[in-house]
Structure 1
Amino acid sequence: MSETITTPAARPAPAPALDETMLAMDVVDTLRHADRLVERELEGDARRAALRGRLREIYASQGIEVPDAILDQGVAALEENRFVHRPTPPSLARSLATLWATRARWGKAAGALLLLAVVGSGGWWFGVHLPAERARVAEAEELREGLPRALQAEHDRVLAATTLPGPRDRAARLLAEGRAAASAGALADGRARLAALRELQQNLVQDYQVRIVSRPGEQSGIWRVPAANPRARNFYFIVEAVDRNGRPVEVPVTSEEDGTTARVSRWGLHVPPEEFERVRREKMQTGLISDPVVGQKRPGELEPRWSVPVTGGAILKW
């Protein structure tokens, strides 16, 4: 006789028990995701009861038994907005926490901006600040030593170029003014006096003739009506400065019309009407000017010695 051992049929395992609070939260979440159902059902006690029955069916289909007390808690919590996230009010702490939480998003951009700021400040330091500082130091050194030495050197060159008291007195005045400017820190004024000394020396050493232009096809003279006296006429020889080899020499000339000064080799020399008429008749009769040289500038002198009457005026344009 054999004995049959029968294994009992496996029974379904009971649904795992859920924490009541978690279960209530889940009920609320289920209700919240069914907005239309909530709006329609939560209008009265009868419909709340119907809603509890429907929710019970939903959980039963998932193998979860939910006590009525839990369902009541969930419905009440939904109505009271429990388990609803309420954002933290704006504050410094909230802002700092948000920045920290989103650092991965804005950190790279901030790092790039910081790098650009560092590079930009370095470029300004090495490209602007340091050169300006070096220039300031060099300027201070020039004021302290370089400019006074240069002024003295140019003054001495002027004295070596002339024995005339006029140019020497002018050189002494420019030297004193340049030194005073250097002592006061006025570099621009000191350099202006230095430039004036150099130009004075260059003018003193020049050696040239002033000749009336008499080449075919070129003007030898003109006349102008002065703006100050429309009834008068001013007469000018068109002259040029040339050295002993006939090459043009640039000399400083000041226009009596607008007061501007320029270094030119050709200009209009203001002469009396009688002298202008004499040369005009000669050129009309012979086609030539017998003696075109009207002035001689010798080394050591500032102005030419004129062989014709002149008024001392000149023009630069005609």
Structure 2
Amino acid sequence: MSASSQRPAQPMGLSSFRNPVACLFITMLTVYVLYSSKLILRKDEYPKCSLQTSDVSAKENLQTVLPQPANSSSDESKKQEQPPPVQPVIIPYTPPENDTEIKHVVFGIAASSNLWEKRKEYIKLWWRPEETRGVVWLDESVNASKDEVNLPEIRISGDTSKFQYTNRQGKRSALRISRVVSETLRLGVKDVRWFVMGDDDTVFIIENVLRVLSKYDHKQFYYIGSSSESHIQNIFFSYGMAYGGGGFAISYPLAKELEKIQDGCIQRYPALYGSDDRIQACMAELGVPLTKETGFHQVSLKVIKVEEQILF
């Protein structure tokens, strides 16, 4: 008999545990059972949740975020605590210092004794007695009617015979007309901001003049006007010159400087044509350019009759 046949037989259950696959399976089964039992034991530790509790907590969260509506009693108490509405205080309007009024403007009007009877009717269209201030400067005295109270004061221009005038196409009256602003300044009118010069056939709209002048500081040097509507005149004279037919304005401090140099300026330019370009020449010496305002416009177009020959 061999040795192996002599070993006693082992139970079948112990041999099965020696199989590695079986050992792994038994281990995993044991871990699963233990983990499941642990969860079952700790089930009672978690709080019970219900739909009702979750709604309550959500409602409380919304109440903390959203503002709470005030009840009617608190609204009434707040209304009682509010002070009565403040009545608006109406303050009367005071115009700024720079607003130019009619009393601040002095007009210097260049006129001719030969045309006075006709041209004075233009002045009556815009002149306001007891409101507007200014002087009409004539070359000779005229018969003024005492009934015509709606006209400005009439004065005679100073003698200009000492000045040279060499332009063959113009007239010497341009010399005295160019001195209208200076002679008006020498009258010593008080509380003046602007001198406005025009011809005896210039029609001023007072409201427009005041509106334009109020845009500028009367304490500075200003020479305000506009060019001619005629392209040919602007080429011949200048686009930077204020034409007296439409009128122009000079601030008070600039008029004072002009009065100081004007007689010498006139002597230096004897060949100039009219009074407008003489004013511009003096402004050029003072270093003051034209401030263009198209409202100061003139109309001096010449109508030329053209004869047509009809050929049959």
Classify the TM-score, shorter chain.
under 0.3
TM-score, structure 2 as length reference: 0.23
Name the structure with the higher helix share: 1
Query: Could you say which structure has the greater relative contact order, defined with CA pairs below 8 angstroms and 6 or more residues apart?
Result: 2
TM-score, structure 1 as length reference: 0.23
